[in-house]
Structure 1
Amino acid sequence: MKIPVLNIRQFHESSKLNEVYVNSFSHHMELNRKLIDTPHSHDFFLCVLFFEGRGVHEIDFKTYDIQPGSIFFLKPGQTHFWDFEAPPEGYIFFHSQSFYELNFLGHGLALFPFYCSLLNPPIATVTPEVLDSVGKKFKEAYSEYSGNSMLRKMKLLNLINGIYIELTRCYTSRTDLDKPLSSRYADILQRLEVLIEKHFREEKLPKFYADRLYITTKHLNRVVKTTLNKTTSELIAERVVLEAKRMMVHSPGNLADVAYALDFSDYAYFSKFFKDKTGSTPTAFQKTYL
């Protein structure tokens, strides 16, 4: 099974506005079940809030619990699917990058912590008070989207921006403040992630990234260990493994092609690397998505 990459225009009722979509979650499921009942990814940014329902949400091959107060954030390219034990209810919206960033020229979506890094968890769980407050904003966005009032797009943009601001405050308030991150370390970590995203296919050794950051490998490892409790090698390997998993489920076929695309010398080396990092062979992993 090749996992589809969905576009906003594929969703029922998305014709109201080309680059944004808002719905109640139950209605969204009812209208688009054939699109979203199996693992898929998107080419847009997505935010969903749950008032009711229980189950699990798998995002990039990690599983998160769904419960009242759960809010999820997805970036383009992330693979996910839902598995509900109790009927869900809430609100969902998604939009293209240009819908937001062409209208808020002072900042991009990377300003928000849940979108700025793959290292940040794609979930927030809020208190009943916050759920009530932000839920009203979701409801107002749904009402605005469903109507035909003057300056509707502008109003939607402001509502979505307000939701992101409120959720950012909630998201960051739950950060461990016992060990505040120095601005210097935060800057190195941010630049490291950008470099890894650009070069992970062909460069898998920490020295390459340390050289690009004009610091020693020892210092880079110190930064990563202090901030993430990982080594630089582990951070690079995690990104390689994630890409391998995405390739194996999006374009199932010859696994040797995956090894080649990720610049491994041969399939045997790639298979050993993948099993060392995941505990599963590439073949066994791929079969779970066929």
Structure 2
Amino acid sequence: MPKQNVQHFDFLRNKYGTELLLDVGRMESLQNFVLSDTPHVLSFYDIMFLERGSGTFSLDGVAYPLEPGRILFTSPGQVRQWKTESEVAGYTLFFEEGFITTFFNDPLFLSRFQFFNNASSPSGVLAPAADFEQHLQTVQALEQEFKQLQNDSPHMLRALLYQLLIRLNRLYAQQHGTNSDTEGNHTIYTFRKLLEQHYMQKHQVQEYAELLHITPAHLNSITQRYFGATASTLIRNRLILEAKRQLLYSPKTVAEIAYSLNFSDTANFNRFFRSQLGQSPQSYRNEHIK
């Protein structure tokens, strides 16, 4: 039985004297930056720009190679783990959702970016040298603003962050074949937000279609167009992701996990898990804990 040894880290809100829900710095020297081989979870968003390093960075059990030019994205609640083979250097930019959403008055704002919603997609990009340098210049402009904080600095920081997120979203969409349009379809981003809120209780496309006041066929059509997958596939992927997290990082029994995910019984959960991964939940746990 695995031990519940995932560390949790919250945002240091008053580092600059007043509550400013954004920070930036160099990974190798920033105090409290988590570069640990122990599984850990952040309560905030994080974007990392690697200039040096080798090894792997795992996110929810999927390992990504560390190499210069790689940009990694993580969202609150995702389980992270580093296995470094040489010194990791570069920039980290991290923020809480409130820093963005209260300013733009858009509760769906961060749901619009592919790289923060990657339950079934890669979690990073390998940027060409010119693109990587352009992104670093923006990050360094953010860093410079922190060195000379003024009353209007939050506005400048948000403007720079907004520009950076749009550029990164375009690069991510280009590399992974997703849709970079963050404005075109309000319904699709509402579905993504609803899925994150209700996936543990609602498993059927019909349930989300009713919340959105559209037909299941229409919901499947727009998710296929924007994400290259049906709504049912996205729901299954989110359930599997949570099941994996609980199997690997919690002491719950398989029966307890089935109950927490609102399956009618353990046998039903076992069938679902096996249909997606080709093995039982207990076999998956045993294999990965080894």
SS of the counterpart of 2:53? strand
- Equivalent pair of 2:246/2:252 in contact (CA under 8 Å): no
How far does residue 99 in structure 1 lie from its aligned partner after superposition?
A: 4.0
Does 2:2 match 1:4? no
1:168 corresponds in structure 2 to 166
Alpha-carbon distance between aligned partners in 1 of 2:12 and 2:172, rounded to the nearest angstrom: 35
* Change beyond 3 A, Cα 1:215–1:253: closer
- Matched letter for residue 80 of structure 1: R
Letter aligned with residue 9 of structure 2: L
Q: CA deviation at 1:43?
A: 0.7
Letter in 1 for 2:132: L
Change (3 A) 1:9 1:267: same
Aligned residue in 2 for 1:23? 25
- After the TM superposition, which of the residue ranges 82-91 and 108-117 deviates more from structure 2? 108-117
* CA distances 1:234-290 after superposition (whole Å, capped 9, x unpaired): 221111111222333443232211111111111122122112212343223334258
Q: C-alpha deviations, 1:72-96, integer Å up to 9, x for none?
A: 2222111112223343210113233
- Check the 8 A contact 2:48/2:73 in 1, yes or no: yes
What residue number does 1:273 align with?
Answer: 272
Query: 1:191 aligns to what?
Result: 190
Q: In the alignment, residue 25 of structure 1 is paired with which amino acid?
A: M
Structure 1 CA distance, aligned partners of 2:283 and 2:47? Answer: 32
Q: Within 1, Cα distance between the matches of 2:141 and 2:231?
A: 44
Q: Once structures 1 and 2 are overlaid, which stretch shifts more, 15-24 or 235-244?
A: 15-24
Q: Distance in 2 between matches of 1:250 and 1:154?
A: 42
**Partner SS, residue 26 of structure 1:** coil
1:71-110 equivalences under 5 Å are 71-102=71-102, 104-107=103-106, 109-110=109-110
Contact 1:144 1:156 in 2 (8 A): no
CA contact (8 A) 1:141 1:156 kept: no
- CA RMSD, Structure 1 to Structure 2 (Å): 3.6
Equivalent position of 1:215 in the other structure: 214
Tell me by how many angstroms 1:216 deviates. 3.1
Q: Gaps (5+ residues) in structure 2? A: none
Decide which moves more: 265-274 or 118-127. Answer: 118-127
Q: Is the CA contact (8 Å cut-off) linking 1:126 and 1:170 kept in structure 2?
A: no
**Do the aligned partners of 1:202 and 1:263 also contact (CA within 8 Å) in 2?**
yes
Distance 1:181 1:47 in 2: 18
> Between Structure 1 and Structure 2, how many residues are aligned?
281
Decide whether aligned partners of structure 1 residues 249 and 20 sit closer, same or farther in structure 2, where only a CA change above 3 A counts. farther
Determine if contact 1:46/1:94 at 8 Å carries over to the other structure: yes
- Contact 1:112/1:164 (CA < 8 Å) preserved in 2? no
Q: SS at the partner of 1:71?
A: strand
SS in 2 for 1:38: coil
Which range is displaced more, 80-89 or 37-46? 80-89
- Partners of 2:215 and 2:112 in 1: CA distance: 30
- Contact conserved, 1:8 with 1:21, CA < 8 A, in 2? no
Residue number in structure 2 paired with 1:158: 156
Cα deviation for residue 143 of structure 1 reads 5.4
Q: Distance in 2 between matches of 1:262 and 1:54?
A: 37
TM-score normalised by length of structure 2: 0.78
The structure with the largest helix share of the pair is 1
Q: CA deviation at 1:53?
A: 1.8
The CA distance in 2 between the partners of 1:237 and 1:85, in whole Å, is: 35
* Residues in 2 aligned to 1:180 and 1:37: alpha-carbon distance in whole angstroms: 34
Q: Helix, strand or coil: the match of 2:242? A: helix
Amino acid at match of 2:128: T
- Separation in 1 of the partners of 2:190 and 2:223? 12
Distance in 2 between residues matched to 1:228 and 1:140, nearest whole Å = 32
User: Which residue type is aligned with residue 28 of structure 2?
Assistant: S
Q: CA deviation at 1:133?
A: 2.8
Q: 1:119-163: per-residue Cα shift (whole Å, max 9, x none)?
A: 665323322223223323434544554x5x452x85476346414
The percent of aligned pairs where both chains have the same amino acid is 24
